[in-house]
Structure 1
Amino acid sequence: MPHLDPDPALKAAAANDHANVVDNLLTETHPTGREAFVEAVARNNMEVVKLFLRKGYPADSWCIGEALNKAAAAGHKRIVELLLEKTDDWFVGKALCTATEAGCTDFVALLLSRYEHEFMSLGDSVKTAASNNHYEVVELLLQPKLSIMEGSKVKTVSFLLDGGQEKYTAYLGFKIRRAIQAIAPFRRLEMAKLLTTNCS
C-alpha cells in the first residue's frame, strides 16, 4: 500500500478549524505540519494553533516566525501574543516591520514590548512608518530604547556599560535623517517636525 502524505488533509482540517481531526492526524501520522500550522494562524483558528504547539508542531522556528508575521499582518492579536512566547527576536523584528508598514499602532506597541534585538531594524521601521505617514507609530518607535528594555535590568545595565545608548542614539539619528529625506517630496510638515525634534 503506497504511503499517503498526511499534510494536505491536515492543512484542510486546520483551515476548517476541525480540532479533533487535526489531533488525530498529528497523533497517528507523521506530518511536517508547516503549511497546516500557518493556515490555522492565517484563519485565526486559535484552538487549532494551540493544539499544534502542544503537540510540538511545527518543529522549526522559521515556520513559527513566518506564522507570527502572518498573524501580525492579519491583526490576530491573541495569536501574536501566543507566538511571541515561541519565537526569537529576528522574527519579532520582521513582524514589527509588517505592523509598522500597516500602521497598526497596537501591534507595534505589543511587538516593541518583546523586542530586545539590536537597534538596526528599529531605524528602518522609523523610515517605513514616516514614509507611510503613520504618525503615532513613529512616536512609538522614537521612544527611548531604555523604556523598551525596562523589563530586564541586567540587559539595560549591560547595554549602557557597552556604550549602547550612545550607539543607538547616533544610529537612530542617521535613520531619522533618512526618513526626513524620504518624506520631503510629500510636504508632511507634522511628520517632519516630529522627526526633526528627535534628530540629534
Structure 2
Amino acid sequence: MRRRMLLHWPCASVSRATCSHTGIGRGVSPRDKDTFANVHAALPENSVWYPSRCAATSTCDNGRSVKTQGGRYGSALQAASLEGHEKVAQLLIDKNADVNAQGGYYGNALQAASLGGHEKIVQLLIDNNADVNAQGGEYGSALQAASKGGHEKIVQLLIDNNADVNAQGGEYGSALQAASAEGHKKIVQLLIENNADVDAKGGRYGSALQAASEEGHEKMVQLLIENNADVNAQGGRYGSALQAASAGGHEKMVQLLTDKNADDYIRNTGDSGVGPRRRSAGQAGTP
C-alpha cells in the first residue's frame, strides 16, 4: 500500500489531466518505469518533488535542480543519505549536488548518513569533501549522530577524518554524552581513547555520567568513573549523576556512585531552576 501511495503525492504538483494521463492517478506500481519517468518529467520546477526528477529522468539543469532546498530532509541528497540509497546519492553528487548544504531535520547529508549507519555513503560524502565538523541539525554533528546510533565503524571513520570528538551542540551536547545515554560502551571507549572530555557539560542530560546514570547503564557509569569523570559534577535536569540514578530507581548505580563519594546533597543548576534537592541515596540529614 505504501508504494502505491508514494506515487500519488506528486499529483499535488501537476494538473488533474496530467496526473490521469501519466497513470499516476490510477495508483500504478512504481515498478512501471515508463509511467514513473513520465510523472517525474511532468513535475514543474517549483515542485518540492522536482529534485527527484533528476534521478528518474536524468534531466537536471546544470545541477540547479539537485540543489533545491526545503522540506523535512532539507535536500534530495540528505534524503538519499538518510535512507541509505548509495546509487542515488552518487547520481546526485554527479549532478553537482552540494554535499555541505545545510537545512532539514538532520542538518546535512553527512549527519543523516551517519545516523542511519550507512558507512559507504559516509565515505562517499567525505570523498567528495563533506565537512566532517559541520554543525547544525538535531544531533549537532555527524559524530554525535553516529554515536547516538551506535555505529562504531562510522564513528571511527569520522575520527580518522579529523572529526572533533569534543564538538558541542545538538540534543546530547556531545558525542560522548550521546553514546553514554544510548549505552554504546565500545563507542564511549573509542571516544575516550581519542581524548573526549568526560566532564563536558551541556546537552539533554548535563554530562555523559549523568546520561548513563539516568538511563541505567551501570557498565557505562563504571567506565566513565574509571576515566576520572567527576561524580559530583553539577548541571542537567537532575543536578547530578546521583540524583539522576536515584530518580530512575537504579539501586546498583546509586551504590556505585556513593562508593565513589558522590554527594547526595547538590544544588540543582539545571534548566528547571529548582533549588537544593535531597535524594534518598545516602545518609539522611538536614540541608
TM bucket normalised to smaller: 0.5 to 0.7
C-alpha distance in 2, partners of 1:101/1:9? 30
Do the aligned partners of residues 189 and 76 (structure 1) sit closer, same or farther apart at CA in structure 2, a change above 3 Å counting?
Answer: closer
**Aligned to 1:90, what secondary structure does the other structure show?**
coil
1:38 aligned onto 2:78: yes
Query: In the alignment, what sits opposite 1:160?
Result: none
Query: In the alignment, what sits opposite 1:56?
Result: 96
C-alpha distance in 1, partners of 2:86/2:187? 27
C-alpha distance in 2, partners of 1:37/1:185? 36
Superposed, which structure 2 residues align to 1:173-192 within 5 Å?
173-175=198-200, 178-185=207-214, 188-192=217-221
Kindly tell me the number of residue pairs found equivalent between the two proteins: 166
The share of aligned pairs that are identical, in percent, is 22
Which of 32, 49, 70 aligns to 2:112? It is 70
C-alpha distance in 1, partners of 2:46/2:97? 14
- Residue pair 1:11, 1:39 contacting (<8 A) in 2 also: no
1:11 aligned onto 2:51: yes
Offset at residue 38 of structure 1 (A): 2.6
Query: In the alignment, what sits opposite 1:91?
Result: 134
Q: Deviations over 1:32-57 (max 9, x none)?
A: 34433333333433233223223322
- Residue pair 1:40, 1:49 contacting (<8 A) in 2 also: yes
C-alpha distance in 1, partners of 2:124/2:207? 34
Which of 174, 178, 183 aligns to 1:124? It is 174
Do the aligned partners of residues 189 and 114 (structure 1) sit closer, same or farther apart at CA in structure 2, a change above 3 Å counting?
Answer: same
C-alpha distance in 2, partners of 1:113/1:59? 19
Q: Deviations over 1:133-163 (max 9, x none)?
A: 2111101111134xxxxxxxxxxxxxxxxxx
C-alpha distance in 2, partners of 1:43/1:143? 31
Offset at residue 25 of structure 1 (A): 2.4
Which structure is higher in helix share?
A: 1
Q: Deviations over 1:120-141 (max 9, x none)?
A: 4498221221122211110111
Do the aligned partners of residues 10 and 43 (structure 1) sit closer, same or farther apart at CA in structure 2, a change above 3 Å counting?
Answer: farther
Q: Which amino acid aligns with 1:180?
A: L
- Residue pair 1:33, 1:58 contacting (<8 A) in 2 also: no
Q: Which amino acid aligns with 2:218?
A: L
Q: Deviations over 1:91-122 (max 9, x none)?
A: 28711111111222222122221134373449
Superposed, which structure 2 residues align to 1:103-122 within 5 Å?
103-117=150-164, 119-121=166-168
Which of 127, 140, 143 aligns to 2:190? It is 140
Query: In the alignment, what sits opposite 1:81?
Result: 123
C-alpha distance in 2, partners of 1:109/1:65? 21
Query: Could you state the TM-score of these two structures normalised by the residue count of structure 2?
Result: 0.48
Q: Which amino acid aligns with 2:217?
A: R
